[in-house]
């Protein structure tokens, strides 16, 4: 007998042998056992995950000579003919070679009326069904909807979006998933054991990762490796033949970037290019590594079956060197570079520029870190390191400042002498300013409550006062304050419902009314905008000093803050 490649030799022959598709095989087995069979099935999924193999197994289960069973015997003449593709009852063809409506009429429509020569069912397996023409689909509709009792249709496709909805609605759809790398690696070791091949675990993992979820691709790659290496296959052989990058290389490149060592990172990229590695694949692996790093930062205890113990330990070590928002910045940077590299003639240049940008980005600090460090020093604490600082969202700010400049500036600001007092002594820069909470007595009427809210908003957050004045407090019921807005004031209504504005208004409503209230807004007809709350006369002294305003003023007058603003040539903008 002639040589048979692994992809055909180890093709699954029963439902239990299908790798990674238990949600499909279990459903089909239950349908067979309960005799709840549909007249048409549609298998959807990427290449090499078992669509046609599952269709053949289903055909054997329905036509086995020992009777319809979820576990066909595989040894009877009918099962062997179906497995070999020679059964007269199972018509298997590809749509690409039979796109014309005349072919579909000849193969299917005119033959469905004839009973099977042997067995119980006549099955039509159409691979890549999306390639049929619109005329072929339309001609098939009636037959597909009401076929004879002895006919079953099984369609397979990798591009379900091109299949008309009229066909989809007449089929039971099953979506086959990409197979996890761990399952592919285990299956390759099973093949290697049967074939008396020595396959390293690292080599099996590299093949599985390079197959990208397709078991047939992995089996073909193993077949090629055996032809090249013989009966002993190592990870080095896999990387050499297919141009893949070792996990240690990707992790090392990420380490160089996180450590700010641009020279070593560029040297690694140069070495990979000289060895003939696919730099686009290397960049894709780096983005995948950063994605795993992001998952580790967000949820350290989440298991990842595709990572071995060494890779997991490396990721956990790297997660201590970087914040989550920085990882997001790196992913965005390299993803943009990946898009440019697809069409660039010099891929190495774009890769090297991206690496330098990544190192430069991690050596910069944002305005949020500057303000957090100054606030910590002002209260007498020690500034936290970048790795342990809380995660912040990236903000739009002036030109970024290098961390070394920040450290020098902070040292200069701390060592700078205090300016001599001119009229009155300045408050101590170290001792925190005591905040006196302002007690507001509950008001009697609901209208007065909203008027008081508008007054306090003008003082605490004047930028949103016009939005608040557009609303009217309609009622307070079940601890919910219902505020109405005119129909043409949709933007103010949506604006004050943002989390930070809502929180302020709910705090004010609760403080003024004397009970915990939740804000609810709705648009109504017949409402008018409230008149702006009048500002207090200049001749009258304020009844009470606003604690927040006083704290802000003390912060601006702090000598250290003034010194820092001079160093950075910056200014404090209103919130």
Please state, in angstroms and rounded to a whole number, the distance separating the CA atoms of residues 556 and 122. 85
Pair of tokens at residue 436:
């006196």
pLDDT at 372: 66
pLDDT at 389: 42
pLDDT at 420: 47
pLDDT digits over 183-214, tens only?
999 999 999 999 999 998 888 988 988 888 88
What homologous superfamily is domain 446-534 in, according to CATH? Answer: DnaA, N-terminal domain (3.30.300.180)
- The CATH architecture one would assign to domain 181-242 is Orthogonal Bundle (1.10)
Collapsed DSSP state (helix, strand, coil) of residue 152 = strand
Long-range contacts of 532-539 (CB under 8 A, 24+ apart): 532/454, 532/458, 532/465, 532/466, 532/469, 533/451, 533/454, 533/455, 533/458, 533/465, 533/469, 535/458
Pair of tokens at residue 496:
């004050």
Please state, in angstroms and rounded to a whole number, the distance separating the CA atoms of residues 252 and 266. 12
Question: In the chain, how long is the greatest CA-to-CA distance?
Answer: 110
Pair of tokens at residue 409:
């500036």
Please check whether residue 458 is in contact with residue 533, taking contact to mean a CB–CB distance below 8 angstroms. yes
pLDDT at 216: 92
In DSSP terms, 92 is beta-bridged to 125
Residue 48 has what DSSP assignment?
T
Nearest-5° angle of CA 201, CA 203, CA 209? 100
pLDDT at 153: 92
Annotate 294-306 with b (16+ C-beta within 10 A) or e (fewer): bbbbeeeeeeeeb
Q: How far is CA 375 from the centre of its chain?
A: 34
- Asked whether this chain's domains 181-242 and 247-362 adopt the same fold, the reply is no
Please tell me whether the overall predicted TM-score, pTM, comes out greater than 0.85 for this model. no
Please check whether residue 546 is in contact with residue 460, taking contact to mean a CB–CB distance below 8 angstroms. yes
Please check whether residue 158 is in contact with residue 129, taking contact to mean a CB–CB distance below 8 angstroms. no
Pair of tokens at residue 208:
């599985």
CA atoms lying within 13 Å on the CB side of residue 150? 15
Task: Write out 330-362 in H/E/C secondary structure.
Answer: HHHHHHHHHHHHCCCCCHHHHHHHHHHHHHHHH
Please state, in angstroms and rounded to a whole number, the distance separating the CA atoms of residues 575 and 559. 21
pLDDT at 174: 94
Residue 519 has what DSSP assignment?
E
Annotate 137-165 with b (16+ C-beta within 10 A) or e (fewer): bebbeebbeebeebbbbbbbbbebeebee
Q: Which CATH class is domain 6-175?
A: alpha beta
For the chain, list residues with pLDDT below 50: 385-407, 409-411, 413-444, 533, 536-543
Q: Which fold has domain 247-362?
A: Zinc Finger, Delta Prime; domain 3 (1.20.272)
Sign of the CA dihedral 65, 69, 73, 78? positive
Please state, in angstroms and rounded to a whole number, the distance separating the CA atoms of residues 418 and 162. 74
Domain residue ranges of the chain, discontinuous segments joined by +: 6-175, 181-242, 247-362, 446-534
**Judging by DSSP bridges, how do beta strands 232-233 and 172-175 pair with one another?**
unpaired
pLDDT at 457: 87
User: Where are any strands of DSSP class E within 382-488?
Assistant: 401-402, 472-477, 480-486
pLDDT digits over 338-360, tens only?
999 988 888 899 999 999 999 98
Q: How far is CA 574 from the centre of its chain?
A: 35
Dihedral angle over CA of 230, 231, 236, 240, nearest 10: 30
Please check whether residue 333 is in contact with residue 356, taking contact to mean a CB–CB distance below 8 angstroms. no
């Amino acid at each position: 007998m002639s040589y048979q490649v692994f992809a055909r030799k180890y093709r699954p022959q029963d439902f239990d042998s299908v790798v990674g598709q238990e949600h499909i095989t279990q459903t089909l087995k239950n349908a067979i056992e309960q005799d709840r069979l549909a007249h048409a099935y549609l298998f959807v999924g990427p290449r090499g995950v078992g669509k046609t193999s599952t269709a053949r197994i289903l055909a054997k289960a329905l036509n086995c000579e020992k009777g319809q069973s979820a576990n066909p015997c595989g040894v009877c003449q009918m099962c062997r003919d179906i497995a070999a593709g020679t059964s007269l009852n199972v018509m298997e063809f590809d749509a690409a070679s039979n796109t014309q409506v005349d072919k579909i009429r000849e193969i299917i429509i005119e033959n469905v009326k004839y009973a099977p020569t042997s067995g119980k069912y006549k099955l039509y397996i159409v691979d890549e069904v999306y390639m049929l023409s619109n005329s072929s689909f339309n001609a098939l509709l009636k037959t597909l909807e009401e076929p004879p009792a002895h006919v079953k249709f099984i369609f397979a496709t990798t591009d379900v979006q091109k299949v008309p909805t009229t066909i989809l609605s007449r089929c039971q759809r099953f979506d086959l998933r990409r197979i996890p790398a761990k399952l592919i690696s285990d299956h390759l070791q099973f093949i290697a054991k049967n074939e008396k091949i020595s396959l390293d675990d690292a080599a099996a993992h590299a093949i599985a990762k390079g197959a990208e979820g397709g078991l047939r691709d992995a089996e073909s790659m193993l077949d090629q490796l055996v032809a090249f290496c013989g009966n002993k296959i190592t990870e080095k052989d896999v990387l050499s033949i297919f141009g893949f990058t070792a996990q240690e290389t990707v992790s090392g490149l990420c380490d160089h970037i996180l450590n700010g060592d641009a020279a070593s990172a560029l040297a690694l990229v140069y070495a990979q290019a000289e060895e003939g590695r696919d730099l686009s694949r290397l960049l894709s692996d780096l983005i995948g590594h950063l994605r795993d790093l992001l998952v580790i930062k967000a949820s350290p205890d989440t298991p990842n079956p595709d990572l071995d113990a060494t890779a997991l330990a490396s990721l956990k070590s790297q997660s201590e060197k970087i914040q989550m928002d920085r990882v997001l910045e790196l992913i965005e940077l390299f993803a943009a570079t990946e898009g440019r590299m697809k069409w660039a003639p010099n891929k190495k240049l774009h890769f090297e520029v991206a690496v330098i940008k990544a190192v430069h980005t991690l050596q910069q600090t944002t305005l949020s870190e500057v303000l957090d460090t100054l606030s910590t020093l002002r209260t007498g604490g020690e500034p936290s390191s970048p790795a342990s600082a809380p995660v912040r969202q990236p903000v739009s700010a002036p030109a970024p400042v290098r961390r070394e400049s920040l450290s020098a500036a902070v040292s200069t600001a701390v060592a700078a002498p205090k300016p001599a007092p001119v009229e009155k002594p300045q408050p101590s820069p170290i001792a925190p300013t005591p905040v006196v909470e302002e007690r507001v007595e509950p008001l009697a009427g609901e209208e007065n409550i909203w008027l008081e809210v508008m007054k306090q908003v003008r003082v605490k957050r004047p930028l949103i006062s016009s939005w608040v004045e557009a609303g009217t407090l309609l009622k307070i019921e079940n601890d919910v304050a219902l505020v109405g807005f005119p129909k043409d004031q949709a933007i103010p209504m949506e604006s004050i419902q943002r989390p930070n504005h809502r929180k302020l208004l709910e705090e004010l409503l609760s403080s003024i009314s004397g009970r915990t209230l939740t804000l609810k807004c709705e648009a109504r007809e017949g409402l008018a905008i409230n008149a702006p709350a009048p500002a207090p006369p200049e001749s009258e002294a304020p009844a009470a000093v606003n604690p927040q305003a006083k704290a802000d003023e003390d912060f601006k007058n702090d000598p250290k803050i003034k010194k820092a603003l001079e160093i950075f040539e910056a200014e404090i903008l209103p919130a």
